[in-house]
Amino acid sequence: MNSLRNFGRGISLNNNYESWKINKYFLVQSLSTPGFNEEAINHAKDLFEVLDGYWNSLKKSQSCNENWFEMDFVQWINRFMTDNISIIITGERGCSMSSYYHTFNSDKSILESSLFDDPKVYNSDKFTQAIKAYLRGVSFFYFVHPFLRRYVPYFKNKANSVLESRDYMLKTIDNIIERRTFDFVNTPQKLKSKHDLLTNLITANHDAKSKMTEFLPDQEIRTVIFDMFLAGTDTSSNTLCYIIYYICRNPHVKQKMVEEIDLVFPNSSDTLCITTNHLTRLKYCEAIIKEASRLMPVLPVAKRVASAECEVAGYTWPAKTIFQLNYASIHMNEKYWTNPTVFDPDRFYLQNDLGELNDDLNNFDQENKKSIHEKDKHSLVIFGGGIRSCPGKKLAMINMLSFIALTFKKYDVELMDVDAPLKTHTDFIIHCLELKIKIKPRK
């Protein structure tokens, strides 16, 4: 893992507790600044309008059956999340969606004269593919012996491909940080209205330096941003694929969810006004996210290292013992879940009893009115647990709830083949490879 050169830095792969603690402190402070959440919602709403425009444009050129527009949802949601996370993290909007949209245009002359004809369009999509390649490569570096990666041609070529993806991502991030640092030094007034993560990190770091307190080295800022791109794109986009899949396979769940969305957003206008207050009222939508994540955890397995001697399963384990945590099996354990193979958001849903956005973890089992976390507080693990839990879980919930509300307020969504199994690939995370759906405007 040291070959990836991110081990021991940033957040996700940092095994240096003191370094990790400082990095997480600055990250949490930056994510908690006033206006950050509302701006994240506005970005999601603005990008959905762009996405909706692409869908409507393609629909006009497609011979649609009864006003339905057919698509592979995976391709669109991956790019939507990349563009969304890009502007939330860096303040610079990506063009991954527009790049994909242009692949449907066979007229090269139209493409070249398009308003989107910008080198960034293609670089942004390349960045998207680099993220996916790197995430798939992490498990390769974890399981394949260094000797094979260095000297056996097949494995060496694969390793080099992963490292090239990493280097491209880091170079792109370095360029963005360099531009933002230049603006901070030379035109600080320009950044006062910005609430993106990078600006917040640079500002907080500058304040820490001026107060002679602990601060982040430039290398750590780079790796924290790198981690946020990895954690904020594929995880949320794959989770949304599984959410759409389970919703569409359970019409009664979809109906109940749509009724809640219509109750929270009674206005039938094409443009929704969304705030954090609206999102906290989407209790059933939140229950759906949790139930889909229980059945299809994007991160099925994680590892933890014992910081001291401990007792587990009746055995005493020395410090530095590595434990593999099988979240997928825990989520299907009949000791904690009634009918664990059944998609049932009601197991989480009681009025005023869900509040992930408010860090309220008092989730209840509707059958016996007893808190799931009273039975075992680790029976549901979506964003990790303990001090190493995901610091961006609130942002992830905001992005997913916003997308669900925007999509199902405007569209009726169905699977192309309701009986088709999910197509997935598992490495470091569980990737959804394809999800064929069709949409049409709601009446």
What value does the mean pLDDT of the chain take?
85
Sign of CA dihedral 337, 339, 343, 349: negative
Q: Is the pLDDT of residue 433 over 80?
A: yes
Residue 2 clears pLDDT 90, i.e. is over it = no
CB 265 within 8 A of CB 278: yes
Q: Cα(93)–Cα(82) distance, rounded to whole angstroms?
A: 9
Cα(168)–Cα(223) distance, rounded to whole angstroms? Answer: 13
> What mean pLDDT comes out for the span 82-111?
80
- Give me the pLDDT at residue 119, please: 43
CB of 305 within 8 A of CB of 317?
no
What six digits make up the tokens of 121? 């369009």
> What number is the average pLDDT over the span 341-365?
64
Question: So what's the pLDDT on residue 269?
Answer: 66
The whole-number pLDDT of residue 64 equals 62
pLDDT beyond 60 at 369? no
Report pLDDT for 110. Answer: 45
- Please check if 273 is assigned to a binding site: no
- Give the pLDDT confidence of 278-302 residue by residue, as tens digits: 999 999 999 999 999 999 999 999 8
Tokens of 439: 């949409």
Model confidence at 33: pLDDT above 70:
yes
Checking phi first, is residue 212 left (phi over 0); if not, alpha (psi -120 to 50) or beta?
left
Strand partners, 364: 371
Amino acid 135: pLDDT: 83
Max mean pLDDT range (242-251, 266-275, 322-331, 388-397): 242-251
Tokens of 436: 């064929």
pLDDT at 351 over 60: no
What share of the chain has pLDDT > 90, as a percent?
Answer: 49
Instruction: Say if CB 94 and CB 127 are below 8 A apart.
Output: yes
Checking if the pLDDT of 66 tops 80, the result is: no
Q: How far is CA 184 from CA 76, 178, 222, 342, in A?
A: 34, 10, 16, 52
CA-based nearest residue to 405, from 249, 232, 257: 257
Burial class (CB in 10 A: 0-12, 13-18, 19+), 115: exposed
Q: What is the pLDDT of residue 430?
A: 93
Instruction: List CB contacts of 4: < 8 A, sequence separation 6 or more.
Output: 13, 138, 141, 162, 163, 166
Residue 199 has pLDDT above 70, yes or no: yes
pLDDT, residue 362, reads 37
**Beta pairing partners, 322:** 305
What per-residue confidence (pLDDT) applies to 121?
44
Instruction: Identify the structural domains of the chain with CATH numbers, from first to last.
Output: 2-281+407-441 (1.10.630.10)
pLDDT tens-digit map of 40-50: 999 999 999 99
pLDDT of 79 reads 93
CA distance 426 to 430: 4
Check whether 118 has a pLDDT greater than 90.
no
Given a cut of 90, is residue 210 above it in pLDDT? no
pLDDT confidence of residue 115: 41
Q: Which has the minimum average pLDDT: 36-50, 86-100, 363-377, 408-422?
A: 363-377
Q: Which residues fall within 8 angstroms of residue 305, CB to CB, at 6 or more apart? A: 15, 320, 321, 322, 323
Cα Rg for the chain, rounded, in angstroms?
22
pLDDT, position 5: 67
Other beta carbons within 10 Å of 388? 14
Q: Which residue would you say has higher pLDDT here, 93 or 375?
A: 93
Here the tokens at position 359 are: 């860090």
Closest CA to 133 of 158, 99, 98, 101: 158
List beta partners, residue 317. Answer: 310
Average of per-residue pLDDT across 14-34: 87
Query: Taking Cα atoms as reference points, which of 295, 298, 240 lies closest to residue 431?
Result: 298
Which residues, in sequence order, are CB contacts of 426 under 8 Å at separation 6+?
Answer: 300
271-305 as b/e: b if 16+ CB within 10 A: ebebebebbbbbbbbbbbbbbbbbbbbbbbeeeee
Residue 156 has pLDDT above 60, yes or no: yes
**419, two tokens:** 């009986």
Q: Residue 212 above 70 pLDDT?
A: no
Q: Are 70 and 226 in contact (CB under 8 A)?
A: no
Provide the whole-model pTM: 0.88
Q: Which residue has the higher pLDDT, 66 or 248?
A: 248
For residue 158 the two structure tokens come to 């694969």
Cβ-based neighbour number of residue 57 at 10 Å: 13
Using 50, 70 and 90 to split pLDDT, how confident is the model at 205?
A: confident
DSSP 8-state code for residue 360: B
Q: Which pLDDT band holds residue 367 (cuts at 50, 70, 90)? A: very low
- pLDDT, one tens digit per residue, over 172-183 is 999 999 989 888
Kindly indicate the confidence band of residue 273, based on its pLDDT and cuts at 50, 70 and 90: confident
At residue 441, the pLDDT reads 92
